[in-house]
Amino acid sequence: MFKAVFFDMGGTLSTQEPTRENVVQDYLRSKGYNFDLRRIRLAYLAADLAFYDWAAKIPLAERTEAAYQSLLQQYHRTFLHHLPLSGDGWPEEMIALFQANVKRRHNVLYPDVRPALTALREHGLRLGIVSNWDLSLEAHVQELGLAPYLDTVVGSMAVGSEKPQARIFQIALAQVGVTPAEALHVGDVYTADVLGARAAGLVPVLIDRYDLQPQADCLRLRSLEELPAIIAAGR
């Protein structure tokens, strides 16, 4: 019987408007390259997965600025390789664009978020966020009006552990008072969200709104509004 659902934040509940994919698409068009949004999303997915592979190997306390800058270079080489697009100067230009995007806050919720959270609350579920995020996570939750739906908010920088490590999930479980088998975790990054939740004993659910990861070996949703039916079936 499921008693709690945890959610990732960015890419699962909140996003930027305009999205990074739209910003990059417009930028590349200005350079004479016409890539559709699906191809750009797939390239970002490949780069995101590579990033989380790196992050999983290096503890938070050991991530130097030099290592991070090197990672940015590799991140954008991976992104460009999967478009595909190559040539001198591209990683530097893309890093500048990436950094500009990072400074833009996630300013909207996906349209399926409030209906899903409302329905889950009506089912008596305890709800929380488990996210790799800086110390602004609590403020971000407040700004987007999510606080009334939630029982806990657990951010990686605040607790010193990040997905896919088990400890960040264990903290969230303890705060809402459920066992791993009684909880689901929903996120958009397979490496962090699915593998992390599974290793901690939670049921992983991948939110894949654009159908980019059909091979995923877990529950996969195109909309968060599918969650209540899944939970009802599990109860």
Of 70, 103, 136, the last residue of a domain is 103
Q: How many Å apart are CA 155 and CA 153, to the nearest integer?
A: 7
Q: Are residues 167 and 66 in the same domain?
A: no
Same domain? For 91 and 144 the reply is no
- The structural domain count of the chain equals 2
Long-range contacts of 198-207 (CB under 8 A, 24+ apart): 199/164, 199/166, 200/166, 200/169, 200/170, 200/173, 201/169, 202/6, 202/169, 202/173, 203/2, 203/234, 205/230, 207/8, 207/11, 207/12
pTM here is 0.94
The one-letter amino acid code at 7 reads F
- Residues in CB range of 200: below 8 A, 6 or more apart: 166, 169, 170, 173, 180
pLDDT for the residue 235: 55
Among 225, 3, 223, CA closest to 115: 225
Note whether 198 and 212 are same-domain residues: yes
* Domain CATH for 222: 3.40.50.1000
Average pLDDT, the chain: 93
Tell me: do 116 and 227 sit in the same domain.
yes
pLDDT of residue 131: 98
Q: Which pLDDT tens digit goes with each residue over 74-88?
A: 999 999 999 999 877
Same domain, 99 and 111: no
Residue 133 shares a structural domain with residue 219:
yes
Q: Tell me: do 124 and 10 sit in the same domain.
A: yes
pLDDT at 186: 98
Q: What pLDDT score does 194 carry?
A: 97
Same domain? 97 vs 118: no
Residues 121 and 61 in one domain: no
**C-alpha dihedral sign at 161, 168, 114, 146:** negative
Are residues 9 and 30 part of one domain?
A: no
CA separation for the pair 167, 190 (Å, rounded): 18
Q: How many CB atoms lie within 10 A of CB 117?
A: 22
State the residue range of the domain holding 138: 4-15+107-234
Say whether both 169 and 199 belong to one domain.
yes
Q: Using CA atoms, how far apart are residues 142 and 46, in angstroms rounded to an integer?
A: 31
Q: 120: phi > 0 → left, psi -120 to 50 → alpha, else beta; which?
A: alpha
What residues of the chain score a pLDDT lower than 50?
none
Among residues 56, 85, 103, which one ends one of the domains?
Answer: 103
Q: Are residues 10 and 24 in the same domain?
A: no
Domain boundary among 81, 103, 125: 103
